[in-house]
Amino acid sequence: MKGKIIELYQRIIGIGVTKELDFSVRRQVELVNHFTIITIPGLVFHLLYNFFGPNDTKEYFISIVLSSIIITTLTFNYFKKYKSAQITITLISILAAGMLHVLSGISLRIEPMYIVLTLVICYFFYNQNTILTSLLSLILIVYVLVHISLIFYTPIYKDQIIPSAPYSYFLVAYLATILVTLRVLRENQRYNKKYTTQNKILIEKNDELNRFTNIASHDLKSPIRNIVSFSDLIERNLNRSNYDDIPEYLKIIKTSAKQMQYLIEDILEFSKINNEEQNNTKKRIDLNKLVNKIKAILVSELDGKNGQIINQGLPNYYCNELEFTILFQNLIQNGIKYNERKKPTIEIWYKEQADSIKIYIKDNGIGIEQAYHQQVFDLFKRLHTNEVYEGTGVGLSLCKKIVSKYKGQIEIQSALQMGSTFIITLPPCPTENTKSPKAAL
């Protein structure tokens, strides 16, 4: 029974609410629906009291008017006429309060309703000056006119007020005031938290951009200098008819140009990870199929070095496919590239824990000294020159950035000539995590 009541309550609150609504409008729509809900218990109580007590026709008429306001307001919200719903519930409530005041006199003690209506109007129309001013002025006009009329006019229902009526109006006003105040305070708190978080992210991204620009410009200058310098040497040698060194110079220019190409491609890849709009599409991915896809991409590198990938089985995970392809491809590719074994081998497996999933990617390559275990994840950080191993120093930084987006961690266990094991720790999959069959590649 309790569950059904809660479900009904949530359904009424959600009338007219859609995903497309921004935060502020959504809260206003929900608040209108809240007002209808808190009016319903008072209305029901009033009807029951009147039915078993005085059985006054006037009170039934008042109840019909209140019911009409509730139904009209919810109908407007249902058809997404949000502003009409807000104006309806405030305007009719003002006129209804004034009418009740005139008919029943000051003994009805309806003043709290004027106060709460003022609060509600300010909340709904704070950024629409014309509507705000008009409705606030209307409250004052109605209130003043009612009291002036009561000087010269005796309320016809003065002696027929149901004892519960003043308490019902006070209760509705009391609940509405609490509701509006708490809603405003919570919205402010939420906006402040959101602003603080976004400001922190902006500062971090700005720092990262400055660091990125400085390092990228430094790394780009080196191959450009080589291209310019050796182009000048070729020009000089051609003027002297000296052709002996030209092939070597051209080889250096070509290597520098390729280095620039790789660096630009990696910079673009890094910028894609920063693009939230481009990378917010997530779905349930079979990571075994992802590894098979990467094996197909790296087939020439695997065949060229007689390498192999042994996948001991991976789970399904809710993620962006492009991001996890970049993540796995970089780690697997590094295990093949930085490897002097006759048969480079990459082993992949995972362990599932109560609060995390750990994915292991192990290679039998050259390994990394412990002193560099943290530095290898820095942007453009390289432990070898291009003459020894080609690269840009962006790959592992990309991996760390991707894992961080999923509130995870990446670490390395390695020693020189002992290979490396990268451990990716991720939060549990948001949906049920079904294991895929083990597959050896």
Query: Could you tell me which residues come within 8 angstroms of residue 293 by beta carbon, excluding any fewer than 6 positions away?
Result: 325
- Quote the CA–CA distance of 151 and 156 in Å, as a whole number: 14
Query: Could you tell me which residues come within 8 angstroms of residue 263 by beta carbon, excluding any fewer than 6 positions away?
Result: 216, 219, 220, 223, 392, 394
The label of the residue with tokens 């990716």 reads 424
With respect to residue 255, please indicate whether it lies within any of the assigned structural domains. no
Higher pLDDT, 65 or 317: 317
**H or E segment and range at residue 346:** strand 345-352
**CATH classification at residue 335:** 3.30.565.10
With respect to residue 246, please indicate whether it lies within any of the assigned structural domains. no
Instruction: Compute the average pLDDT of residues 263-274.
Output: 64
Q: How confident is the model at residue 263 (pLDDT cuts 50, 70, 90)?
A: low
DSSP state of 106: G
Pull the structure tokens for residue 5: 């009541």
With respect to residue 170, please indicate whether it lies within any of the assigned structural domains. yes
| Residues 144, 285 share a domain | no
pLDDT of residue 389: 47
| Residues 300, 196 share a domain | no
pLDDT of residue 384: 47
Pull the structure tokens for residue 380: 């453009």
pLDDT of residue 348: 94
Higher pLDDT, 276 or 335: 335
Residues β-bridged to residue 362: 347, 421
With respect to residue 206, please indicate whether it lies within any of the assigned structural domains. no
With respect to residue 230, please indicate whether it lies within any of the assigned structural domains. no
Higher pLDDT, 250 or 371: 250
| Residues 316, 195 share a domain | no
Instruction: Compute the average pLDDT of residues 272-286.
Output: 68
The label of the residue with tokens 């991976």 reads 314
CB 100 within 8 A of CB 160: no
Burial class (CB in 10 A: 0-12, 13-18, 19+), 341: middle
CB 280 within 8 A of CB 411: no
| Residues 17, 112 share a domain | yes
Last residue of a domain, one of 157, 180, 200: 200
| Residues 41, 134 share a domain | yes
Determine the straight-line distance between the first and last CA of the chain, rounded to whole angstroms. Answer: 55
Total structural domains within the chain: 2
The helix, strand and coil proportions of the chain, stated in percent and rounded to the nearest 5, come to: 65, 10, 25
Least reliable range by pLDDT among 76-85, 191-200, 269-278:
269-278
DSSP state of 160: G
| Residues 406, 289 share a domain | yes
Q: How confident is the model at residue 198 (pLDDT cuts 50, 70, 90)?
A: confident
| Residues 16, 115 share a domain | yes
With respect to residue 39, please indicate whether it lies within any of the assigned structural domains. yes
| Residues 182, 285 share a domain | no
Burial class (CB in 10 A: 0-12, 13-18, 19+), 349: middle
Mean pLDDT of the chain: 78
pLDDT of residue 99: 83
- % of the chain residues with pLDDT over 70: 80
pLDDT of residue 163: 67
With respect to residue 220, please indicate whether it lies within any of the assigned structural domains. no
pLDDT of residue 192: 79
Which stretches of 275-367 are DSSP H helices?
A: 287-297, 299-304, 321-337
Q: For residue range 314-336, list pLDDT tens digits in order.
A: 999 988 888 888 889 888 988 88
**pLDDT > 80? residue 60:** no
Burial class (CB in 10 A: 0-12, 13-18, 19+), 240: exposed
Q: How confident is the model at residue 14 (pLDDT cuts 50, 70, 90)?
A: confident
CB 439 within 8 A of CB 313: yes
Closest CA to 122 of 108, 134, 110, 112: 134
With respect to residue 254, please indicate whether it lies within any of the assigned structural domains. no
Q: Rounded to the nearest 5°, which phi and psi values hold at 306?
A: 60, 40
Last residue of a domain, one of 168, 200, 232: 200
Instruction: Compute the average pLDDT of residues 61-84.
Output: 83
Last residue of a domain, one of 200, 229, 261: 200
Helix 111-125 × helix 129-152 angle, to 10° = 170
| Residues 189, 335 share a domain | no
| Residues 286, 183 share a domain | no
Domain that holds residue 179: 2-200
Q: For residue range 370-404, list pLDDT tens digits in order.
A: 777 777 776 555 554 444 445 455 678 788 888 88
| Residues 172, 64 share a domain | yes
Find how far residue 102's CA is from the centre of its chain.
51
Least reliable range by pLDDT among 232-236, 262-266, 270-274, 403-407:
270-274
Q: For residue range 340-355, list pLDDT tens digits in order.
A: 888 999 999 999 888 8
Q: For residue range 121-178, list pLDDT tens digits in order.
A: 887 888 888 888 998 899 899 888 888 888 887 877 776 666 666 777 777 777 777 7
Q: What is the secondary structure of 120-162 as a DSSP string?
A: HHHHHHTT-HHHHHHHHHHHHHHHHHHHHHHHH---TTGGG--
Torsion of CA 66, 67, 71, 73, to 10 degrees: 10
pLDDT of residue 309: 92
| Residues 325, 192 share a domain | no
Name the pairing type of β-strands 308-311 and 345-352.
parallel
